[in-house]
Structure 1
């Protein structure tokens, strides 16, 4: 029995695909071993990332590390870096097999072909011409409580700083029946929470649009009143909401155009949907948004925010912000700063713009220097620290009870606590001792149990809320 070690770089979509490939190997009779230097494997699968130049470098380093761990092994490179620099990967002496995006489902067959004939080692489609969804699936996941479910692939947005549409191809949506079948299987195994993920889930279903509407650009379709009704993200959420055993549904990154009045109204009717939304903004300045080729302006974004806050009680809103984009002046950044204060996000992920070869933004004039990027980044990091603390304090002061999905047992300040997250993604901790005598939960089944809690105080890290269990 040959041993296979897999390693994933980058996003949750890559993690999902890596777990899918792991299951394919296991079903084919291979033994799965950890990707560690002290564990020898016959085959190494590196699912690479290419979102930045640094990600490319890390992917190369990991491929070389795998071959170094066992020079006699077969090293398989797959994923986004393979698409962005296929010639370089194919020429790399540390790489034996090259598999492009949308061919990962054939990883076992590719390996066995290579064993028969080592000259057969490149398995790639033209990703930009492939319109079929690669139907990878999972039956279990490495996490104990939360399962990420891939519902679509590809992106049609072509933001000026982003390489992803070129390495992931155009949008390809997964059939709802396949999604439901997978989620039902995970629910049967005890998973209570699922996170719907993809490269651009806002676009889910646009590739199902009727031919009469094909003339509409995808970014305009969602907001077009005359477009024929089609299956979209809301339909996926509704279908999963009906599955017994699933208690929580989370969504990965959204864009404002999907948050119509109908969308906000409908999700508010579904108690399983967590009021925690990551709305990808990138900038609070319209000139910069236009240069980024984002498909909305600050007014439209704020309308989406207001709809969510209108129909849901204090939803946790998070976002991504890029500072130092080419051409961003101090005045532009100050406008972003004031806009972000107005939106008042729970948390913000701040990124200093990094040039990416192969993108439009890489060739733009007026590149911003590192000193200005650092200054802008630091000011927003301080803002998000203040905002997130204020959100947790509001929860502490104004929320009497909440449900928490217990995820793990940890040690904080030399004391053991069970930790987990509320629906609006506030991390809470409950003393281990508090579960003694709590007959609903046996000690060996506390993890992956939803319990009702009362918030008591902030812990020393100011990022975790200490809670007590509500009586049975």
Structure 2
């Protein structure tokens, strides 16, 4: 029996696809081993979101070759799409698999074993309109199941290579998603997380062509909120998942700020299973920088969306991504962005110093000094720490619930840690509890700087 080892770089979508490939290989009779072990086949699911991600992808491919000179080394995913020439010249790689061919991994490996002359399996991702269908029956995370529902992006932000490596928006059929959710529920999962490359675009490729054109940038300016909600396939999907017995929590990945409309959020507020954790990628609080980034909203529009969310949810978690030192970002631009971040009071801000991505428009723009980027990132990091603690303090004294996930010991006392619906980390005395239990109680104090203690309510 041949052995196969996987390694994943990048996003949750990549993680989902790796687990799907692993299950396909196991079903075909291959034995999966840890990546650090000697294997007959190494499959690296690569990332290309930054130049650093490209470098890490190359490093893992070369590491696989060193672990076994006779192994078959497979490069799959985004780096394959973005660096075709470099991949062709890399002697450590035997097989290259594009982003819309991963579901054929078994046939690809078997074909290569039969005839080593065929080693390229890449379609033109930018001309593909078909969703690459996967079916997963289990996942490595034993308490929450990540489900890929969408691929591709039509946004073309000036700093981002992803539309070129993932192609245009392609959505998974709702019936296939619901079927997978039911399987996870039957396996005991209580929480599902919907993921995609541009999740807010889910379903726009299902709409008729004329409506699709109006929706493509998710502006829907001429549509009433009611009409927008009626035709919003992501909302329909969440509502359908909420009807699956056994699923008690529905969490979503990153959302496009322009999808935040009043009736949409009001409808989400009526779904008891929906987790009010909204990750809205701001990227900058400065309108000049947003325009340069090709982000099609203003800071004021973003803030109005935040106000809508807070109108329908009590203390929702609103998190974001921020790029500092974007090409052309002056000190005044940064100060404007910083002031906006302070105004919003995010629960958590993921801060990224701008990194040049070859092949994007921003790579050819005037660059900000590296030391200045680091300085700006540190300033926002301090604000982030304050905001995180303030948000956690708001939970004190409130009734809440958590999903038990991991053992945790402090001062020789055993706890379970897990997350509230808002994705705040909480601990509860272990007692007779077990992983995947949902516990309700009151938040009583800080157990550590980043973990709150819950006092379990009486049975």
- TM-score normalized by structure 2? 0.97
Q: In structure 1, what is the equivalent of residue 276 of structure 2?
A: 275
Q: In structure 1, what is the equivalent of residue 183 of structure 2?
A: 185
Determine if contact 1:205/1:230 at 8 Å carries over to the other structure: no
Q: In structure 1, what is the equivalent of residue 106 of structure 2?
A: 108
Determine if contact 1:208/1:230 at 8 Å carries over to the other structure: no
**Displacement of 1:93 after TM fit?**
1.1
**Displacement of 1:207 after TM fit?**
0.9
What is the distance in 2 between the residues matched to 1:417 and 1:176?
Answer: 38
**Displacement of 1:216 after TM fit?**
2.9
**Displacement of 1:208 after TM fit?**
1.3
**Displacement of 1:252 after TM fit?**
0.5
What is the distance in 1 between the residues matched to 2:351 and 2:110?
Answer: 44
Task: Trace 1:186-335 onto structure 2 (pairs within 5 A).
Answer: 186-216=184-214, 218-225=216-223, 230-335=231-336
What SS is found at the alignment partner of 1:196?
Answer: strand
Q: In structure 2, what is the equivalent of residue 68 of structure 1?
A: 66
What SS is found at the alignment partner of 1:216?
Answer: helix
User: Is 1:450 aligned with 2:438?
Assistant: yes
Q: In structure 1, what is the equivalent of residue 14 of structure 2?
A: 14
What SS is found at the alignment partner of 1:187?
Answer: helix
Q: In structure 1, what is the equivalent of residue 30 of structure 2?
A: 30
Deviates further, 212-221 or 162-171? 212-221
Deviates further, 323-332 or 225-234? 225-234
CA offsets 1:64-84 (integer angstroms, 9 cap, x no match): 111111111111110000000
Q: In structure 2, what is the equivalent of residue 132 of structure 1?
A: 130
What is the distance in 1 between the residues matched to 2:167 and 2:91?
Answer: 27
CA offsets 1:388-439 (integer angstroms, 9 cap, x no match): 1011111014x1x21110001123344422100111111111233xx25xxx
**Displacement of 1:338 after TM fit?**
1.0
What SS is found at the alignment partner of 1:307?
Answer: helix
What SS is found at the alignment partner of 1:147?
Answer: strand
Q: In structure 1, what is the equivalent of residue 458 of structure 2?
A: 471
Instruction: Give the root-mean-square deviation of aligned CA atoms.
Output: 1.4
Determine if contact 2:417/2:426 at 8 Å carries over to the other structure: yes
**Displacement of 1:304 after TM fit?**
0.9
What SS is found at the alignment partner of 1:207?
Answer: helix
Task: Trace 1:115-154 onto structure 2 (pairs within 5 A).
Answer: 115-154=113-152
What is the distance in 2 between the residues matched to 1:212 and 1:394?
Answer: 46
Cα separation, partners in 2 of 1:8 and 1:427, compared to 1, 3 Å: same
Q: In structure 1, what is the equivalent of residue 371 of structure 2?
A: 371
What is the distance in 2 between the residues matched to 1:309 and 1:468?
Answer: 27
Determine if contact 1:405/1:449 at 8 Å carries over to the other structure: yes
Determine if contact 2:204/2:212 at 8 Å carries over to the other structure: no
What SS is found at the alignment partner of 1:467?
Answer: strand
Q: In structure 2, what is the equivalent of residue 362 of structure 1?
A: 363
Count of equivalent residues: 456
What SS is found at the alignment partner of 1:185?
Answer: helix
Determine if contact 1:402/1:453 at 8 Å carries over to the other structure: yes
What is the distance in 1 between the residues matched to 2:376 and 2:70?
Answer: 48
What SS is found at the alignment partner of 1:348?
Answer: strand
**Displacement of 1:211 after TM fit?**
2.3
What SS is found at the alignment partner of 2:254?
Answer: coil
Q: In structure 1, what is the equivalent of residue 393 of structure 2?
A: 393
Determine if contact 1:146/1:193 at 8 Å carries over to the other structure: yes
What SS is found at the alignment partner of 1:378?
Answer: helix
Structure 2 residues not aligned, in runs of 5+: none
CA offsets 1:97-129 (integer angstroms, 9 cap, x no match): 110001000011001110111011100100000
What is the distance in 1 between the residues matched to 2:88 and 2:6?
Answer: 19
Determine if contact 1:430/1:467 at 8 Å carries over to the other structure: yes
Cα separation, partners in 2 of 1:217 and 1:465, compared to 1, 3 Å: closer
What is the distance in 2 between the residues matched to 1:111 and 1:467?
Answer: 50
Determine if contact 1:284/1:337 at 8 Å carries over to the other structure: yes
Task: Trace 1:36-115 onto structure 2 (pairs within 5 A).
Answer: 36=36, 39-115=37-113
**Displacement of 1:223 after TM fit?**
3.7
What SS is found at the alignment partner of 1:191?
Answer: coil
Determine if contact 1:48/1:81 at 8 Å carries over to the other structure: yes
